[in-house]
Amino acid sequence: MKWISGIFLIILLFSLPLWASDKLSLNPKDIRVHFFYKGENLKISAPILSCQDDFIIKIVSLQKEESTFKTIEKVGGLIWMKVNDIHYKNVPLFYHTYSNKPVEKILSKNILEENNLGFTILGEKAEIFPLKNPSEKEKFWGEYLKYKRKYHLYEEKIIPFSCNASNLETNIYWPFQAPPGEYQVEFYEVSHGKIVKQLKNHIKVFQVGLVKFLADFSRNSPLIYGIFSVIIALISGFLVGLIFKKGGH
């Protein structure tokens, strides 16, 4: 019985590295927002079955967003004005996908829906109201995407992947506009329209140092923070005017 236990232990020890390597690797996994922060270079690597397969990486915030925007309409046939409120619910604060080809060409719509992949699926599941008629949803979703893309909070990109027989790597730019919070990173390997491997990991973005102090200060003492900001602005204006001899403003 002892020799059987010994063989089992040896098999277990040799198997551990294989089990441990079957994970999605992120570097860095924690992103620190400091005073000189301008975004981050994020390296993603994953074990794969074949370089001939298709690959999708999705990064999504765990935090959902509820937003309200004003619609712009022509009033009285003369003046364009902000008129009605349009509300958005059930949408992530941050949503990026990276793939070797458009996700719609990699997976069927049913599988995309199951895994919330792609802007089309995201828009179908979003709650947008009030609408004069259902056909307006596509228009307002397009406007929402335009706004989110402007600040790099929503992206769909076709990117190259570095691939060898057993591992895939890529580097992406993590935008500085991504707010503090937790994000889920999902990796999909697809062969002939079917997901053959799916891995997940998490990224945490958090403020440190002076940035954290100012953010906490503005939340905990908004009145004092506002007065302090006005004083700093006045002093800055005075110093700039003094330097350029144009008087403080």
pLDDT at residue 24, as a whole number: 96
pLDDT of residue 10 exceeding 50: no
pTM for the model stands at 0.79
Give per-residue pLDDT as tens, 17-67: 444 458 999 999 999 999 899 999 999 999 999 999 999 999 999 998 888
pLDDT at residue 224, as a whole number: 66
pLDDT at residue 246, as a whole number: 52
Q: Which of 155, 158, 202, 173 is nearest to 54 (CA)?
A: 158
pLDDT band at 13 (very low <50, low <70, confident <90, very high): very low
pLDDT of residue 215 exceeding 70: no
pLDDT at residue 242, as a whole number: 65
pLDDT at residue 80, as a whole number: 67
Give per-residue pLDDT as tens, 73-120: 766 666 666 668 899 999 999 999 999 999 999 999 999 999 999 999
Q: Which of 150, 148, 126 is nearest to 136 (CA)?
A: 126
pLDDT band at 236 (very low <50, low <70, confident <90, very high): low
Is 118 in contact with 112 (CB distance < 8 Å)?
yes
pLDDT at residue 111, as a whole number: 97
Among residues of the chain, what percentage have pLDDT more than 70?
74
User: Coil, strand or helix: which one is 130?
Assistant: coil
pLDDT at residue 65, as a whole number: 86
pLDDT of residue 3 exceeding 80: no
pLDDT at residue 15, as a whole number: 45
Longest Cα pair distance anywhere in the chain, in angstroms? 93
Give per-residue pLDDT as tens, 132-184: 888 899 999 999 999 999 999 999 999 999 998 889 999 999 999 999 999 99
Alpha-carbon distances of 123 from 143, 216, 243, rounded to whole Å: 11, 34, 52
Residues 6 or more apart in contact with residue 96 via CB below 8 angstroms: 58, 59, 60, 154, 155, 156, 157, 172
Q: Which of 151, 157, 176, 149 is nearest to 31 (CA)?
A: 176
